[in-house]
Amino acid sequence: MTTPPTQVSLKRAIGPKLLILFIVGDILGTGVYALTGSVAGRIGGALWIPFLVGFVIAALTAMSYVELVTKYPRAAGAALYTQLAFRKPFLTFMVAFAVMCSGLTSASAAARAIGGRYLQEFVTIPTVVVGIIFIIAVAALNYRGVSESVKTNIVFTLIELTGLLVIILIGVYAVATGAGEPSRLLEIRADESGGLLLALLGSTALAFFAFVGFEDSVNMAEETKDPSRNFPRAIFMGVAITSTVYILVALTSSLLVDYRVLQDSDGPLLEVVKAGGLAFPPQLFAAIAMFAVANSALINMMMASRLVYGLANERVVPKALGMVDPRRRTPVVGILFTTALAIGLISSTEIAGLGETTAFLLLCVFAVVNIAVLVLRREEVDHAHYRAPTALPAIGAVMALVLASPLTGRPGNVYVIAGVLLGIGVLLWLVNWAFTRRQRHEEETV
């Protein structure tokens, strides 16, 4: 009798410092570099307010994620927590599919942004061509190994953080020299159709895209050293650092550039650099911005592939999707699967729709996760873990549902894109259900 092969496990290569940089690098990127102008178009000069409210909502949900990942330090993230809390396989699958789609739409938005305004400072190449080539390169790096991918993330994180610090320094210089228009910082654009509430909700819902990313890290739990100890500090520090940077960047942007100029630019921070009064080369900043956007794509594709791996281990999707390359110890099938889907999104959907769809899908998921925390309070585990104050997950769930609702005034095509993606999920669920049912039937008749 031959001994069955032992399943290859993932390598625990991520320490506390790497984890903090991973989270910071995941949150920073496409949102602030590419969508700041769109947020300004909805709120006006008070651009910092949506980012402040976004921080509050992100912090509430981060507490729920920290409690769950320290309680259940396994891959699959929100899907795992949904299954443990509600024991409904269909709901689990749809949450997992929504999370995976949010990672893919975010990475696809970043891939399309690579070929946009920032690249055009150097050369003009069709956006779709650039995006597809880029996402294939990300897949190759992802396959090479998590240690290599996370170390690459460190380099990219430092570069993109440098770019945002340049913006902040420009703001400090403007304040010191009396430049800019401080009165714009309290200017809220409230049109007749929606008023002040719609302006605040709509801009916050869009700005929230800049905060997504910390939830990706829980899918790296099986590759993190001592996750119960390292995750709380890493997630809280990551959210705090990026939120501070975002608010300072937003203040600088509104101080120096009218919101109408920001709104009309798909490279809004370039407008700030050009208006700042410091002799910082716009092309150098454009290069930094492309590194930032590239980093977002890398981390999101890593998350999506690990999510597929985790779901396969939980038997929510076919086990073959969880195959690990024995040499590289990376989820090779998950990488191929998610890359193919990303190429389809890049080829068919514009960046604005991809960004808004990402935020909408994750807000729905965040509502479920916040509820799951409360449901799972009745279950004890045999190790110490973080516990969030009981009222905060409830508040987080309500706020996430409000921002996911039509009250925000988000374009209708966002709901269409999300509906199509989730419809594909329903179809895949039915196919998988039919396959497993047939397999069980064949086993019973043997």
245-273: per-residue pLDDT in tens?
999 999 999 999 999 999 888 788 989 99
Segment 9-13 mean pLDDT: 61
pLDDT in tens, 388-440: 999 999 999 999 999 999 988 888 888 988 998 898 778 777 877 777 777 77
pLDDT in tens, 232-248: 888 899 999 999 999 99
For residue 360, pLDDT over 50 is answered with yes
For residue 275, pLDDT over 80 is answered with yes
Segment 21-43 mean pLDDT: 83
Q: At what angle do helices 351-375 and 77-86 cross, to 10 degrees?
A: 40
For residue 349, which phi and psi values (nearest 5 degrees)? -130, 140
As given in the structure block, the two tokens for residue 348 are: 């068919």
Per-residue confidence (pLDDT) for residue 76, from 0 to 100: 63
Q: Could you tell me the CA-to-CA distances from 93 to 117, 176, 253, 349, 397 in Å, in that order?
A: 37, 54, 41, 24, 20
pLDDT in tens, 42-80: 899 999 999 999 999 999 999 999 999 888 887 667 888
pLDDT in tens, 145-171: 656 556 666 787 788 889 999 999 999
Per-residue confidence (pLDDT) for residue 443, from 0 to 100: 66
Per-residue confidence (pLDDT) for residue 153, from 0 to 100: 67
Residues forming a β-bridge with 224: 14
Residue that has been written with the tokens 């995941």 in this structure: 26
Query: Long-range contacts of range 176-183, CB-CB < 8 Å, 24 or more positions apart?
Result: 177/277, 179/255, 179/256, 179/277, 180/255, 180/256, 181/45, 181/255, 181/258, 182/255, 183/45
Segment 13-36 mean pLDDT: 79
For residue 405, which phi and psi values (nearest 5 degrees)? -85, 165
Q: Which of 221-230, 311-320, 355-364 has the highest mean pLDDT?
A: 355-364
Contacts of 98 (CB under 8 A, 6+ apart): 361, 362, 364, 365, 421, 422, 425
| Residue of 399, 379, 391, 388 whose CA lies nearest to 66 | 388
Over the chain, what is the mean pLDDT?
84
